[in-house]
Structure 1
Amino acid sequence: MGVLDGKTALVTGGASGIGAATCALLAERGARVLVTDIDDTRGTAVAAALGDRAAYLHTDVTKEPDVADAVAEAVTRFGRLDCIVNNAGRVGAWTYLEDTSVEEWDASFAVLARSAFLGTKYAARVMREQGFGSIVNVSSVAGIRTGFGPHPYGAAKAAVLQLTRSAARELAEFTVRVNAVTPGGVATRIVGHGAGLEDAELDASVDAVRQGLRSFQPIPRAGEPDDIAQAIAHLASDDSAFVTGQNIVVDGGLTLGKSWPSNYAREARAASNRTASA
């Protein structure tokens, strides 16, 4: 028996990275999953790999009718909606603030913040009537600390966290829970997109990102999509039935900052060794 047996989940941005890992883990634990994305080739493949526990639907999360249709499809196909994971994302261009265009700002907010709002809005209508449900919004360390993403990206991810809290307060009386998961540095294709790589380069870039992140976070390895999926699956399950309005940071300790004492001790030892060998 899986902890998600009998439950239905809808995952946006489910074609790759964190979204694909989340779809796979939710299905493994017993859920039926509606995979949504704009990458039809990858999204269809993710759903097909999960068998009759999953289906794929093309969904542009910046468009209200698409999100409304996705929620309706989950309910029509599977009879209910227990969890929605608002995961679809983009990094966008790294530019100085004065060089950031209004178009870039609006595009980031559309994919990151508007999509979370729309997913929450339409899932809440179903879940309020049901009297239960879990909404999980995927944020980023860029939403709680500076320097981890472009200005529009960080601002939009911070907006997702405030939406999570305000929606959780409104929906709690209906036993509808709203929580967020905040990843740190994770080896995914979206990181390659943020670095300006073309689609043909993205798969190869994931390994390069993985290597680079080894020294980037206190736990000396890159975050993997499954690390984030594990936290999402917990919030989707009844194991977290009394948890709402919370943000689970899954970042390998990245937001703890640099460990000055240990760095100092390491440098002191190196200096001592150099002196001894002189």
Structure 2
Amino acid sequence: MSTTSILQASSPTPRLSGKVALVTGGASGIGESIVHLFHTHGAKICIVDVQDNLGKQVCESLDDEANEDVSRAVDFTVDRFGTLDIIVNNAGISGSPCADIRNAELSEFDKVFSINVKGVFHGMKHAARIMIPKKKGSIVSLCSVASVIGGIGPHAYTGSKYAVLGLTKNVAAELGKHGIRVNCVSPYGVATALSMAHLPEDERTEDALAGFRDFTGRVANLEGVELTTQDVANAVLFLASDDARYISGDNLMVDGGFTSANHSLKVFR
């Protein structure tokens, strides 16, 4: 008589139990998914976001509080929870589309770099002043497929994401001696408010989002799978957790092979 053993799936072990995290741009889109996933995995979280009302709504759902300035937010996090183990530099903008560099506005370029690059730099700097004395910590920044390939977005956006990748590698080189890991995540197109930011408010409809999903799906490499904010959050969780304890200076592509494949010669398509 044979015996059959049945193994029942158990709840996953929290991967951030006891960790304290700060997430910028955590009120909506990818940032909100990161916040909820981190919370599920046991982290204590503070959120930095210019969207006051949305930030408060997310915080209330997690019994947390919001703060707006990165430097003050780091101090607030440490005062509240005693430390800072993880910072996720997620806040960013795409900027206005411009197909002709002759028409590009320097003020727009400066705005995108100020948020996408200076914001990340400030996050890294202020996290480092807490993490260096502890000799540990994880810094994760949201980058983009535009960090490794041209023609994906406006010049300011693409330039800013290349800069974030450069900062990631350089800061990882400095902070490695302190046991601090510095990485970034580069997703393919995700249907969020950011992907609709170039449209007037009244045109950011469900139909517009559906059109974005249809377009990104048609030109994607990996077919039959739609990239979601949860997929990106899962990648951030991995890099933030001890599962990635020896990974630093990496740019984790969450793009279904988009930046690794060129189908213009139609060898496989």
Q: Same fold (TM over 0.5)?
A: yes
Q: 2:232 aligns with which of 220, 228, 234?
A: 228
State how far apart, in whole Å, the 2-side matches of 1:240 and 1:213 are.
29
Q: Indicate the larger mover: 254-263 or 111-120.
A: 254-263
With over 3 angstroms needed to count, the CA separation of the structure-2 counterparts of 1:205 and 1:30, relative to structure 1, is farther
Structure 1 residues without counterparts, runs of 5 or longer: 60-65, 264-278
Q: Answer whether contact 1:83 1:236 (CA < 8 A) is retained.
A: yes
Q: What does residue 254 of structure 1 align with?
A: 258
Q: 1:104 aligns with which of 102, 108, 111?
A: 108
2:65 aligned with 1:55, yes or no?
yes
State how far apart, in whole Å, the 2-side matches of 1:119 and 1:48 are.
23
Residues 107-138 of structure 1, C-alpha deviations (whole Å, 9 max, x = no match): 01001000010000000000001111000011
Q: Answer whether contact 1:193 1:202 (CA < 8 A) is retained.
A: no
2:149 aligned with 1:145, yes or no?
yes
Structure 2 residues without counterparts, runs of 5 or longer: 1-12
Compute the displacement of 1:44 (Å): 1.1
Compute the TM-score of the two structures, normalised by the length of structure 1. Answer: 0.87
Q: Answer whether contact 2:48 2:70 (CA < 8 A) is retained.
A: no
State how far apart, in whole Å, the 2-side matches of 1:200 and 1:212 are.
17
| Aligned positions of 1:187-198 closer than 5 A | 187-194=191-198, 196-198=199-201
Compute the displacement of 1:71 (Å): 0.6
**Equivalent residues, number:** 253
2:82 aligned with 1:76, yes or no?
no
Residues 32-80 of structure 1, C-alpha deviations (whole Å, 9 max, x = no match): 1111101111111112222x3x3222x2xxxxxx211011111111111
State how far apart, in whole Å, the 1-side matches of 2:74 and 2:36 are.
19
SS at match of 2:172: helix
SS at match of 1:77: helix
Return the structure number with greater helix share: 1
AA matched with 2:21: A
SS at match of 1:179: strand
Q: What is the aligned-residue RMSD (CA, Å)? A: 1.5
SS at match of 2:197: helix
State how far apart, in whole Å, the 2-side matches of 1:131 and 1:147 are.
40
Percent identity, aligned pairs only?
39
